[in-house]
Amino acid sequence: MNLSPLQKARYEYVPKLPGMLRNGIAEICVQNGEATTSVADQDKIKALFPNTYGKNEITFAKGANTSAAKKQVVGVILSGGQAPGGHNVISGLYDALKATDKNNVLLGFKGGPSGLIDDDYVEFDDAFIDAYRNTGGFDIIGSGRTKLETEEQFKVVTEVAKKHGLTAIVIIGGDDSNTNAAVLAEYMAANNTGVQVIGCPKTIDGDLKNEDIEASFGFDTATKTYSELIGNIERDANSAKKYWHFIKVMGRSASHVALECALETQPNICLIGEEVAAKKMSLSQIASQIADSVEKRGNAGNNFGVAIIPEGIVEFVPEFSKLIAEINELLAGANTEKFNALPDWDAKYKFIEQGLTKESMAVFAILPQLIQQQLFLERDPHGNVQVSLIESEKLLSALVKDELEKRKAAGTYKGKFGTLHHFFGYEGRCAFPSNFDADYCYSLGYNAFMLIQYGYTGYLSKVSNLSKPAEEWVAGGMPITKMMNIERRNGEDKPVIRKALVELDGAPFKYFAAHRDQ
């Protein structure tokens, strides 16, 4: 394979570790922090996780390693959507494991959680790992979205772990995957299997964080990639001067990606879902706000521009959010099969009409039929509407077009409105990781092994103080249950990690809000 200079440089890059992890395995000790509680619903979460709830946060520091020496056989899986840096998490885990004892073993289970169930794995060696260092993608072992959540699945995983003599399992994933990690850790502890479970925080959406998890890996690389593409489109728009580009970016449940890209590229318009929710804006109000910008520019002879739209924007619109919640309940359980069995859209429309409240049906009725049908496409694993399948960029540009035609008829708008639509998602998920993500991910994996070595389970690998040079990063662990609350999923109450939304009183949004008119 002929490598470009950039590819060669990426393969040869040596990731940087936090200072306390550079001392050598024999000189890393543990400092105990505060005991933890869940972010909400403490009594319910504690009852569901009696063996792993309320544990202390911990930090690694320089000092004599007091962990018990034993051979470690660790299994690792990649779970959920790809994010730049996943290969470096595995590389860091492998290097720490081998640095402790060259006889330690790392098994990669293929295709995500299903690899654990199907016992489909590969044993890593130096040559295997070296081919994937600092590269994007999850192709080293593949990923998947199977959920580990049933008693039957846990029993199978326990048998697979017993067969291979696994001492620990590392789950690299987002909020749902790490929720599954917490549940699996609780099962393993309750049944005295001796198998530890450690999670690593991954998602380019940026919504898996709290005061401890300052960033999820992949966010830095993905937003840089999307921003480069958006910048290219802005230059094209300024050259052709005839199109408004409506660009949807990743971020179903939070607008971190949209906000970061807006700060990097300064588009004409950027919607922030959390602001839409806080102001209780309707679809027509959003369309009117966008139309104001289009009209102002159009009347000045500028019939072009760029609008950034977060993937999950419709869920933040209160009237639309209520509609989606009702649809999720309407199709819970056996109702999905009943709905899918109906012969045509007319029959399905009547079924919908009978199941929705009058208020939600009024919102549903004004939507273009294409969007109506997208709301009833295949459910996600939780039985919920797949918001990413709703072409919200086309929905909003259609509503803006209608509004502008009214203004043209009234004589207030004198411009032209031509549109092009884009969705940037897959383009950013497997890029070569930035130096930050290469360092951060390698540190997360190395740190995960230290948590295993010291006997922790149900913990998330955490590396903080990330705005400083890597030498000053702080490595440690946090019980996953600290991030959990109870939410309604597929018609049932479930323990899940609470997603972190854009903070409207935080510095990034306040800076954006202060400069967006300009």
**Which residues are the active-site residues?**
205
Q: What DSSP designation does 426 have? A: G
Q: Is 206 left (phi over 0), alpha (psi -120 to 50) or beta?
A: left
Instruction: Report the distance separating Cα 385 and Cα 375, nearest Å.
Output: 6
Length of the chain: 518
Instruction: Report the distance separating Cα 482 and Cα 263, nearest Å.
Output: 31
Q: Do 143 and 171 contact (CB within 8 A), yes or no? A: no
Angle between helices 345-355 and 358-366 (to 10 degrees): 150
3-class SS at 472?
A: helix
80 contacts: CB under 8 Å, gap ≥ 6: 112, 143, 145, 173, 174, 176, 177, 202, 203
H/E stretch holding 17 reads none
H/E stretch holding 164 reads helix 151-164
H/E stretch holding 310 reads strand 305-310
Bridge partners for 246 per DSSP: 307, 421
Question: In this structure, what token pair is assigned to residue 201?
Answer: 């925080």
Per-residue HEC secondary structure of 355-400 comes to HCCHHHHHHHHHCCHHHHHHCCCCCCCCCCCCHHHCCHHHHHHHHH
Q: Do 478 and 56 contact (CB within 8 A), yes or no? A: no
Angle between helices 507-515 and 256-265 (to 10 degrees): 50
